[in-house]
Structure 1
Amino acid sequence: MSANTDRHESAVARYFEAWNASEPEELAKAVAAAWTIDGAYTDPLSDVGGHEQITAVIAAAHEQFPGFAFRLVGSVDGHHDTARFSWELVSEAGGTPSGGGSAPVAGFDVITLGADGRIRSVLGFLDRVPAGA
């Protein structure tokens, strides 16, 4: 495993820590650890920048899908300062994401990293979204 691969996987791990943080203070800290101060997040439903707005998008996802967690699907693929990975939103059982539950939302993201290894930008793509979401 190359140092670059480690860098990509570490950034993605921090990304999922942010998306799965449930308490406001924990979420704010996780977003700050994952994104650069001027980091951005863009998907078909959102286009935001900065920690405060990214935190608000994540909090809104928790409100819309209570009891669900984001999980990596497959492996992280990356080169230079860019990585891509697939994910799904799964129901939680006993505090951990279950592998057997439904996944109402799934997609893949492409991230660009800053020099410090934190995310500068996310381009998200939604492969599966429930009707009315």
Structure 2
Amino acid sequence: MTASQYPYLFATLGEAASQLPEAIARALETTLTATQVNAPSSTTLLGCLQRIRKVEAADGQPWPTKGHTPGQRMAMARIDRANSGLTLLLEILHATERVRVDGDADQQVGEDVREGLLLACRGLAEYMDVQVRTL
């Protein structure tokens, strides 16, 4: 089973699609193809997945090609998405801290949630560092 034989299935499942039995893969590809044909590409799950894999940045647009190689564009788009995610996590963490200090006890999140937010922020920051170094 190849990506060219089942493009929608591979767009949805990635390499995991190659582990499916042939009959199931064929049925899923038929269903996914019908869904793709009958819906506008901008609102389908598969359309979004395909655009994301074509190096969409956090704003949903492809990273500009100005003097960048495809690898650099991919790294920049990944950094942009990770930075957007990091910003959101830090805003949530900031809000949980304000509630912890000034809010009611029933509105506070647990220590495990705050720790999870911190770890997620750290992970995204480390990921962005790796991506920056690939440029």
Q: Which has the larger radius of gyration?
A: 2
**TM-score normalised according to structure 2 size:** 0.23
TM-score normalised by length of structure 1: 0.24
More helix by share: 2
